[in-house]
Each structure stands twice: as C-alpha cells, then as structure tokens.
C-alpha cells in the first residue's frame, strides 16, 4: 500500500500517528510525508536557524519511522489563512499525483489550530480519487474548536509494539518537546496512547476518524 500523510507542521506526523507510520513501514507499505508550512516563523525570530534545526529533526525522525520521502512546502507558519485555498489544494494535488496513494492521513476538522483545519479542507478537495482518507488527532489542539463537532474515533490502530519507538521519534524534535503536563511532552503522548488503548481493549493505540473507505 502507498500512504500519504499530509500535515500542517513538522512534528504533527509523529504526534498524531507516529506509531501507525512505523507499523505501515514494518508491513512493507510505502509512506510519504507532505508538510505544508515551515512550522517555525510564528514561534522564533531567528527563523532561518530554527528552520534548519526543525527540518533536520524532521528528516531524522522520518528516517527512523521508515518514511520514503518528505515533501517540504514551506508556506508561512500559522498563516495558511493568508494563502489562497486554491494554492494549498494544488500543493496537495501535486503530491497525490507523485505518490498515487491508496490511503491518506491528515488532520481532523475539529481543531483549534487554523492551519490544521485548512489542511483538512484542502485534503478533502484534493483527494477525490483516493480510496481511503483518515483523520488523526493532535493532542492539546483537536476537540478545542467550538461548533465544529468533536473528534469521535471510529478506527483504531494497535501501536502497543510501536509506542516506545514513537516516543523516540518524537524526541528527535528536541526543540519542540516540553515538560509534562504540556500536551507536547513524551509523558502526555504516552498517556493518550494508553487511553486510546483502553477505549479499544489494547495496550496502546492511535485513534482516527474514517472519512472515506472504498472497497
């Protein structure tokens, strides 16, 4: 199977579905990653320095997860609402043409971060001919957006054997990891995986909403 993961920022892929990516890689699936923004300019003044650090971290993490290729698009962080929806659509459409995926993973629409919501909307447009589309959650951000409906998972992937490696992959983003109880802490990520495991009678899991699945 060919998989395309479409995210707004570098590290979203590990936070949301690092264990699932590892599982796909171990199963022989080809996983590709599309990152729409550079992910640093909204946080750091010296963004050229942090851009290089963040990209290096992403590439190290991608290799560890078994990702085949990363497509960096470098639109401004936290400013996707200033880009045209058409531009974002075309970026994702081009990546879909290159990868020809059978499945796409992307953000959920009920998300506090506007970049995440806009990426989701563009994926819906660009993925008309893709057979499977699944949404992941971003801890600390998903389910925080009012009037859009909650993240109610209907699909779980067992990551009991992958959880420790997911945490290792996330630790490679050393400029982004925070101390507990921040959502972006290794302990918080582990707690969420255990909670989703409890929901699905597993030791650890990642949860998704299935948007489309065509047999």
Do residues 126 and 100 lie in contact, with contact meaning Cβ atoms separated by under 8 Å?
no
Give every residue of the chain whose pLDDT is below 50, as ranges: none
pLDDT in tens, 130-158: 999 999 999 999 987 666 678 999 999 99
SS (H, E, C) 89-135: HHHHHHHHHHHCCCEEEEECCCECCHHHHHHHHHHHHHCCCCCEEEE
Class of domain 2-213: alpha beta
- The pLDDT, as a whole number, for residue 41 is 74
Query: Do 104 and 127 touch, CB atoms closer than 8 A?
Result: yes
Q: Which sequence spans correspond to the domains of the chain?
A: 2-213
Q: What is the pLDDT of residues 35-47, one digit of tens each?
A: 999 988 766 665 7
> How far apart (Å, rounded) are the C-alpha atoms in residues 35 and 53?
15
Q: Return the pLDDT at 63.
A: 98
- Read off the pTM: 0.96
Burial grade of 73 (CB within 10 A; 0-12, 13-18, 19 or more): middle
How many Å apart are CA 196 and CA 96, to the nearest integer?
Answer: 30
Output the pLDDT for position 81: 93
Q: What pLDDT does residue 44 have?
A: 64
pLDDT given at position 148: 64
């Amino acid at each position: 199977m060919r998989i395309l993961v479409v995210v707004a920022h570098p590290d979203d892929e590990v936070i949301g579905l690092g264990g699932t990516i590892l599982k796909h890689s171990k199963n022989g699936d080809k996983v590709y990653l599309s990152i729409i923004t550079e992910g640093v300019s909204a946080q750091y003044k010296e963004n050229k320095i942090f851009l290089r650090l963040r990209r290096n971290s992403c590439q190290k993490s991608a290799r560890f997860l078994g990702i085949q290729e990363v497509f960096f698009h470098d639109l401004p962080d936290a400013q996707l609402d200033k880009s045209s929806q058409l531009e974002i659509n075309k970026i994702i459409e081009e990546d879909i043409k290159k990868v020809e995926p059978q499945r796409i993973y992307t953000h959920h629409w009920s998300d506090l971060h506007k970049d995440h919501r806009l990426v989701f909307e563009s994926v819906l447009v660009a993925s008309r001919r893709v057979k499977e589309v699944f949404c992941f959650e971003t801890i600390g951000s998903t389910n925080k957006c009012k009037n859009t409906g909650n993240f109610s998972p209907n699909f779980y992937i067992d990551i009991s054997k992958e959880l420790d490696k997911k945490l290792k992959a996330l630790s490679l983003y050393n400029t982004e990891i925070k101390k507990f109880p921040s959502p972006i802490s290794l302990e918080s990520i582990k707690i969420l995986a255990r909670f989703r495991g409890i929901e699905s009678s597993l030791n650890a899991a990642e949860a998704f909403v299935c948007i489309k699945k065509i047999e």
